[in-house]
A and B are shown apart, each in its own frame.
Chain A
Amino acid sequence: MRLPMALFIMIWSIMLTLDARAQPMSIEQIAPGIYLHSGKQEDAFPYNRGDIANLGFIVGKSGVAVIDTGGSPFLGDQLKQAIRSVTDLPIKYVINTHVHPDHILGDSAFTDQDAVFVGSARLPGAMQGRGPFYLNRLPQNVGPDDAKGAAIVLPTQVVDGETSLDLGDRTIVLKSWPTAHTDNDLTVWDPATKTLWASDLLFVNRIPVLDGNLSGWLSDLDGLAAIPASQVVPGHGPLVTEWPAGLADQRRYLTILRDEVRAVIARHGTMEQAMDGVGQGEKGKWLLFGLYNRRNVSAAFAELEWE
């Protein structure tokens, strides 16, 4: 009776593997026609396949807008299948909220869709400056298999200010922001449901990553707070339903970063001293703090030295 058992286990394992490949991404409907996939609150590694960012899509009467595509072509493909599990409508737009690899490297899974790729007017420059570096590192971040076929897809429509996209009886508004998380941040606003897709302008539970301008980000928070949203999708972390209260933690961390770095600079301290001391009071409050706080401090220091 042992042989059939071994056979069963073998077939079951193969089916599990096939099953994982065929499975669409897990999504939840957070508002009529708005779907969210929650990424893991981790750094990208082969074991999590780089699935670390929030992605999603919005469905109108005549088409779909995708918001970020994931950290690899594999994830982009899983997202595409998730869309197909919900609607047959054409994918009209693929929106990249900013240049970071966990949000854009699924783009190549959508180039067969006749969709317009949309991003900030500063996204093409950022993609050119950073693309080769991200593609080079992808095999070590998601494993060599998942990295195959990854490519940078430049936007064909760019946003400088505000742009509306028509999805058929549903207009969404895209807005580019002064340099904050990056120099090419874009948000998506759905007035019909008062849903704001803030992407990486908002981090929840996971430490914010400073890769743009700290003063600019703090200033943008005021603009974000003024949007009359009933729910806000962060780039990392759970959906926020209290607004603008949901901004408070991030505002606190970024303010501490700015104030404590300024204090070190004022007493002629060094970047190394700042990296050792700044932000320590925030230590238990953010996931991945140990991975990113010192790096945030060095970026803030290099910026604030010029004040």
Chain B
Amino acid sequence: MRSRSFLAVAAVALWGVVTGPSRAYAAEADDLSRWTDIRPMVFGGAAIADGAGIIALDTPVRAEDAAIVPITIQALVPQNPDRYIAKLSLIIDENPSPLVAVFHLSPLNGSATISTRVRVNDYTNIRAVAELSDGKLVMVSRYVKAAGGCSAPAGKDMQAAMARLGKMKMILPEKILPGQPAVYQLLLSHPNNSGLQFDQMTRNYIPAHYVKSIQVTFDGKPVLMVESNISISEDPSFHFSWMADRSGSFEVKAVDSQEKVFTGAFPVTVSSGS
């Protein structure tokens, strides 16, 4: 069901890419035309309330580099077993593939705050939609000025990128106390190619080669599941929270669009007591 909606949204959006260049202006902040197409494909007819007080979006007003735009979806409420953010959907209206990522979370995260870096293809609204544990949907959005992220030049050092393909890094917080949420960062080396670049030698589009999913567990317990696509920047980076109650190991499994699987294991030592 989920992958179908990704495909459907991508199809609608590709149509947008084909007709895109004929538009003489970039989307204005109050331009909802793309959102009215995207919304039913992802959320059906479900009601979506204002997310103020529950989540907030941290985005630059103007991106310095449209291919690496750092953003944060801030959770303003803690993850409690009786009420928590189960899912965060990140949408960039004017991107060729607007449903950028879906993050699956649980009470054990402590906080649902997620940071990542995205490609932004045009001046656009960026939206975060949270699905709460009771099924309620809430949304916040911000307008970002950037252009060309998805079709922007391929990485800075193509040979080095392919040589490092699949390498993973987990950056641990300085101190990890039991039962306290702490912030971790997962880095995965991958070109995350958008497939929108044209190879003049072969006269073909360079095939998309991007990370489709990332699964993080801790001693077998689900920590974070990410479904992603070409709108995530090269070398996908995710900051997330986790409440460890004892020492153990993170395990990461990432799958890309060529069905390549990358794995990593990262032991974590939890301090005893405060």
Contact = CB atoms under 8 A, between A and B. Distances in A.
B221 interface: no
Contacts of A305: 169, 171, 187, 237
Contacts of A137: 148
Interface string A251-282: 00000000000000000101110010000000
A128 B65 contact: no
* Best-buried of A125, A129, A133 by chain B (most CB within 10 Å): A129
A268 B187 contact: no
B153 interface: yes
A275 B117 CA distance: 14
B154 A129 contact: yes
A129 B160 CA distance: 15
A175 interface: no
Contacts of B183: 268
A171 interface: no
B167 to A, nearest CB: 8
Tell me what chain B mostly uses at the interface: helix, strand, loop, or mixed.
loop
Contact of B64 (A130, A132, A212, A298): A298
Contacts of A158: none
Interface in B74-112: none
Contact of B197 (A129, A270, A272): A129
Contact of B160 (A127, A133, A179): A179
A262 to B, nearest CB: 14
Given A125-B158, A152-B200, A179-B157, A270 B70 contact: yes
B173 interface: yes
Nearest to B183: A268
A129 B64 contact: no
A127 B189 CA distance: 23
A154 B199 CA distance: 12
A70 interface: no
A299 B198 contact: no
A268 B169 contact: no
A120 to B, nearest CB: 12
B272 interface: no
Contacts of A303: 156
Contacts, number: 93
A211 B70 CA distance: 18
A154 B171 contact: no
Contacts of A152: 200
B102 to A, nearest CB: 22
A193 B152 CA distance: 40
A108 interface: no
A302 B68 contact: yes
B213 interface: no
A268 B206 CA distance: 36
A183 interface: yes
B200 A131 contact: yes
Nearest to A213: B157
A182 B148 contact: no
A275 B173 contact: no
A20 B151 CA distance: 35
B169 A306 contact: yes
Contacts of B206: 128-129
B115 interface: yes
A122 interface: yes
Given A131-B200, A133-B148, A306-B189, A182 B156 contact: yes
Given A122-B159, A183-B156, A302-B235, A268 B151 contact: no
Interface in B165-200: 167, 169, 171, 173-174, 183, 187, 189, 197-200
Interface string B114-130: 01010000000000000
Interface in A115-159: 122, 124-134, 136-137, 152, 154
Contacts of A272: 58, 60, 70
Interface in A82-135: 122, 124-134
Given A298-B68, A305-B169, A306-B169, A183 B159 contact: yes
A294 interface: yes
B61 interface: no
B64 A295 contact: yes
A212 B200 contact: no
5 contacts: A128-B200, A132-B198, A183-B157, A270-B70, A271-B68
The 8 closest A-B pairs by CB, nearest first: A129-B154, A130-B153, A295-B64, A183-B157, A294-B64, A271-B70, A132-B198, A179-B157
Given A132-B151, A182-B156, A299-B65, 6 more contacts: A128-B198, A133-B151, A133-B152, A179-B157, A183-B160, A298-B65
